[in-house]
Chain A
């Protein structure tokens, strides 16, 4: 019993070392109470660096792409030598990564990493 308590004391994380992570800004209202914004989604705006990293990782993990050639300003068909159908596949993979729904006409225009990063960064619902 004492052995069990000793083991559990080691395993259990003490309360003061638990830290809350997450970018919840502590905005204070005029009366001193804390404000909470009332929207249930769309709060977590991605930073440009995060968007670039995730887009590049999606493009690099595409099987027909050489990962060493991938840059933030690479053109899918001209620089990476991909097909237009490969372009469609990459755009679909980006949609799945960021949980977006891109309309067909817009998705047709996304031709390079630069356009993709710009579109995703400016999209309000990029997750």
Chain B
């Protein structure tokens, strides 16, 4: 069965590539959540990269879909319960902690100096 090179095929492959990239990004961040010590993270990251590279040359879109679904299932299984989120981002510790006051309000530190001093 020859692979028909229609626009639909290429669109499907492009969508699969985007799913793979997003999955790789999330899996890498998850590895960083689990392995805080940097040398352990580097080992985990290279092992993850090898797992992705082993399936790099698969051509059949259905197999690729199945592999991506397997990858997402294992990512969901291994997600960290308490991920590190950058403090100012939603979910982080500093999110909406000190909202910027409305403009026009300012504290003038003149240390009690009166106008006619």
Q: Which residues of A contact B (CB under 8 A)?
A: 29-36, 38-42, 84-85, 87-89, 91-92, 99-101, 104, 107-108, 125
Contact = CB atoms under 8 A, between A and B. Distances in A.
B109 A33 contact: yes
Interface of B: 17-18, 20-22, 24-26, 28-29, 45, 49, 52-53, 85-86, 88-89, 92, 94, 97-98, 100-101, 105-111, 113, 115
A104 B17 contact: no
Majority SS of interface residues in chain A?
loop
Contacts of A34: 109
B29 A92 contact: yes
A29 B110 contact: yes
Q: Considering residues A39, A42, A85, A104, which has the most beta carbons from chain B within 10 angstroms of its beta carbon?
A: A85
Contacts of B49: 85
Contacts of A101: 85-86, 88-89, 92
Contacts of A89: 28, 45
Contacts of A85: 21, 24, 49, 52-53
Contact of A29 (B29, B53, B108): B108
Contact of A92 (B20, B28, B89): B28
A103 to B, nearest CB: 9
A31 B113 contact: yes
